[in-house]
Structure 1
C-alpha cells in the first residue's frame, strides 16, 4: 500500500479530507495521512496532495510549501477545500492557479479539484433513502474525483519514484543556479560604474564648448559701451575746456595774451594724461571683469604713450602762437581815423584855452598831441583785438587736435584690448576644451576596460546558463518522456 501525504496550511480541512479519502476504498492501494516532520523534504514520497483553502488565496506558507514540492516531489495533486462554505471559491481557485503559474511554472495549467467534505456525510446519510440525491451529493463533494486523480498519479509497480524525486531536486537546483546566473547577468549588465561614466562623459561633451559665444558677446557689448562712454568723456572735456579758454581769453589783456599759449598747452597735456588714465582704467576693468590676468606690456598703451609724448613735444615747440601780421593799409587807415578823432576831441578840449590870449598859442600843439595819443590808443586796441582773435583760433585748433588724439587713443587702445581679450578668452576655452577632451579620452579608456570586463563576465554567465539550461532540458525531457503510468 502506498502512502499519500496531504499538506497545506493550518485549518484548511486536511484531517477531514484524509478521513474522507481513506473511507473511499479502505482496502485500496492507497492510504492517506497528513504531512509530518518525519517526511522531511518529501523526496521519499510518491504522491503529495496540496490543499488550498477557499477562504482566501494562497499566502507565504503555501508558497514555501509549493517551492519544496516543486523541488523534491515528482507527482503533486491539488485540491481546494471548503467550497460549500464560500460562494466565491471559483475566483479563489483561479487566483491560486495564477499564483501557481507565476511562482512554480512546472504546475502551470494543473487542475485544482474542488472539495466539500461535509457533503460526504450528507451523501452517506441519504444513500439508503435517496440514492440519486446521495450520488449527486457525492459528486458535489468531489472526493471520488480527487481519489481517481490521485490514483492516476501513482507510480507503476517497481518504478523508482525516489530517483525521480531526486532528479526533480537536481532539476530544481539547476533552475535556481540558472536563475542566480540570470540575476548576476542583469546586475553585470546594469553596471552602475559604467552608467555613471556614461553620464559623466555625456555631461563633459555637452559642456565642452559651452560659454564661448556668450563670453565673446559679453566682451563685445562691454567694449562698445566703454568706447561710447570714453567718447562722451572726450567730447565733454573738449566742450568744457573750450568754454573755459574762451572766457579766459576774453578777459586777457596786455602781456597776458602772449603767455596764454603755455596755459593752453598745459590744459592739453593734462587732458591727454587724464584720457590715458580713463582708457587704462576701463581696459583694466574689462580684464578684471573676466578674471583674466592682463599682459605685462600692453602694446596699445606704449603706442599711445609714444604718440602722446610726441604730441607734447609738438605742442611745446612747433605749435606756437602765430606771429602778428605785418602792418597793412587797414592799420594806417586806423591811424588816420584815430588822429582825426583825436584832433577833433583835442579841439573840443582846448577850445576854452583860446579865450585866454596867453594860452591860445598852446591850443595847436595840444590838439595835435591829443590827436596822436588817441591814434596810438586806437592802434593798440585794434592790435589786442586781433591778438585775441588769433589766440582763439589757435586755441581752437589745439583743442581740436588734442580731441582727435584722444579719440584715436581711445579707438586704438580699446580695439587692441578687445583683440587681446578675445584671444585670451579663446585660449582659456581652448584649454578647457583640451582638458575636457583629455578627461573624455580617459573616461573612454575606463569605459572600454569596464565594458570588456563586463562582456567577458556576461559571456561566462551566458555560457554557464546555457549549459545549465541544456542539463535542465535533458532532465525535464527524461521526467516527461520516461514517466511510467500506474496500472
Structure 2
C-alpha cells in the first residue's frame, strides 16, 4: 500500500471502500423536506435511471428550492453528498413556479463558490416539468446530464481523483480547525488570574495597627485612671475598684477584637490583677497619728481648762482628759481615711501601670506573631501560585506541541496526496 493510499484509508474510509468496490451506476437524490426531491426521484426512475435515496452511489443529485437561496442546511447536505459520491449535480427545482428564479440561481452560485469549495465540479441546473420552458432543462435533459455524469464517474481515474479531492478537503478543514483552535485560552485566563491575585493580595498594615493599639491603650488607661480617682473621692474605694476592673475589661476586649480581626491566631489578652489594700490595716503612721492626736487633744484640753486654773490643781485634770480623748479619736479617724485614700491612689496608679506594661507587651508580641503568620501564609500562597502557574505553563506548552504535531502530520498527509490537478476538459464543468 502506498503512502497516499494509507492517507486515503485513514482520512476517508468510505471513499477508500468505494474505490475498491465495483463501479455502480446508481444516482442518489437528496434534498430537504419540501424541496421536491422525492417527486424528482420518482420521475428519474420512470425515465430509466437507477435512483436510490440512500446507500452507495456514483452521482448525487442535490435538490434546491427555487423560492429561497441556499443556507447552512443545504450546504451541509451538499457537503455530505460530495463526500459520499464521485460527482455531484445540483438541481434548482420548481423554476416554473417562480419567475424570479434566475436571481435565486445567481445567489446560489455565489454562495456555492464562496462557501462550498468541494462543489467546484458540480452542476446547478434549473429543472422544470414543462417541456416548453425556454430556459430551464426538462426531466429528459436532466436524465441526459446524469447519464453522461455516470459514464464519467465510473472512470477509475476520475473516481480516485474525486476521493483524493474530498480527502484533501478533509485534511485542509482539519488544518484550518487546528489553526483556529485555542484550547489554551481558558488556561491562559486562569494563569493571568493567578498572577494577578498573587500581586494584588493586600497585606495588613500591622505596624500602623500596632501604633493605633498602643495609642488606644494609653488613652484608655488614662481615662480609666481619671474615672477611678474621681470615683474614689466621691463614692469610696469599692466603687473605684469596680471602675478600674470595668475599664481594664473593656479596654482588653477592644484590643483583642482589633488584633484578632487581622490575626485570629493571637490569644486574647489576660491581665494580672492585684487586690486593693484593706481599709483597716495599721501602720507606723497610725501610731504617730495616735501620738499626735493625743498631744493635740491634751493641748486642746489645756486651752479649755485655762479659766479653771483658780481651782485646785487636780480639778482641771479630768476636764483636760475629757476634751483630749474625743479630739484624738476624731483626728485618728480622719488621718486613717486620708492614709487609706493615699494607698488606694497608689494602688490605682500601680494597677494601671502594670496593666499598661502587660498590654504593651501583648500588643507588640501579637503584632510580631501576626506578621510571622501572614508572612508564612504569603509564602505558602506564593508557592501554590508558582506551582500552579508552572503546571499551567507545562500544560499549555504540551497542548501547543500536540497541535504542532497534528498540524505537521496533516501537512505530511497533504504532501503524500500530491498537488491537486487543474480541471481538464474531460471533467464536469464548473458550477455556474
Instruction: Provide the TM-score with structure 1 as the length reference.
Output: 0.55
Q: Given the alignment, which residue of 231, 237, 258 partners 1:243?
A: 231
Cα distance, 1:440 vs structure 2: 2.0
- Relative to structure 1, is the Cα distance of residues 217 and 165 closer, same or farther in structure 2, using a 3 angstrom cutoff? farther
Distance 1:66 1:55, change over 3 A: farther
Please state whether the residue corresponding to 1:208 is helix, strand or coil.
helix
Q: Deviations over 1:302-338 (max 9, x none)?
A: xx87xx99x99xxxxxx9979859999x998885454
**Distance between the aligned counterparts of 2:169 and 2:137, measured in 1?**
38
Q: Cα gap change, 1:180/1:340 in structure 2, threshold over 3 Å: closer, same or farther?
A: same
Query: How far 1:225 moved relative to its partner?
Result: 6.8
Tell me what 2:395 maps to. Answer: 446
Asked whether 1:206 is paired with 2:169, we answer no
Measured in 2, the distance between the counterparts of 1:404 and 1:275 equals 11
* Cα distance in structure 1, aligned partners of 2:79 and 2:192: 50
CA–CA separation in structure 1 for the residues paired with 2:126 and 2:335: 135
Partner-residue secondary structure (3-state), 1:11: helix
**Residue pair 2:69, 2:107 contacting (<8 A) in 1 also:** yes
Answer yes or no: is the 8 Å Cα contact 1:72–1:169 preserved in 2: yes
Equivalent of 1:105, from 108, 117, 121?
117
Larger radius of gyration: 1
Matches within 5 A, 1:447-462: 447-462=396-411
TM-aligned CA deviation for residue 230 of structure 1: 9.2
Structure 1 residue 340: Cα displacement: 1.6
TM-score normalised by structure 2 residue count: 0.61
Contact preservation (8 Å) 1:52, 1:79: yes
Number of residue pairs the alignment of both structures matches: 381
Contact 2:29 2:51 in 1 (8 A): no
Query: Aligned pair 1:340/2:323, yes or no?
Result: no
Match of 2:163 among 155, 165, 173: 173
1:480 is matched with 424
Correspondence for 2:14: none
The one of 50, 62, 66 equivalent to 1:36 is 50
Does 2:265 match 1:292? yes
1:370 Cα deviation after fit: 0.7
Q: Which residue of 2 aligns with 1:190?
A: 181
Counterpart secondary structure, 1:437 = helix
Instruction: Tell me whether 1:414 sits opposite 2:428 in the alignment.
Output: no
Offset from partner CA, 1:183-205 (integer Å, 9 cap, x none) = 5442586375x455434433432
* 1:106-125 equivalence runs, <5 A: 107=119, 118=130, 120=132
Q: How far does residue 180 in structure 1 lie from its aligned partner after superposition?
A: 3.0
Displacement after TM superposition at 1:430 (Å): 1.6
Distance 1:405 1:14, change over 3 A: closer
Segment of structure 1 superposing worse, 174-183 or 102-111: 102-111
Q: What corresponds to 1:90 in structure 2?
A: 102
Instruction: Provide the C-alpha distance between the structure 1 equivalents of 2:322 and 2:284, rounded to a whole number of angstroms.
Output: 32
**Structure 2: runs of 5 or more not aligned:** 1-24, 31-36, 277-282
Question: Is residue 209–residue 429 contact of structure 1 (8 Å, CA) maintained in 2?
Answer: no
SS of residue matched to 2:39: coil
RMSD: 5.9
Match of 1:434 among 374, 378, 383: 383
> Once the 2 structures are TM-superposed, how far is the Cα of residue 453 of structure 1 from its aligned partner?
2.7
Output the CA distance in 2 between the equivalents of 1:435 and 1:293. Answer: 25
Higher normalized helix content (fraction of residues): 1
Q: Name the CA distance, whole Å, in 2 between partners of 1:225 and 1:206.
A: 32
Counterparts of residues 226-375 of structure 1 (less than 5 Å): 228=216, 232=220, 235-236=223-224, 239-240=227-228, 243-244=231-232, 279=252, 283=256, 286-287=259-260, 290-292=263-265, 324=288, 336-344=299-307, 365-371=314-320, 373-375=322-324
Which whole-Å CA distance do the structure 1 matches of 2:428 and 2:101 have between them?
Answer: 34
Instruction: Tell me: CA distance 1:322–1:79, structure 2 relative to 1, closer, same or farther (3 Å).
Output: same
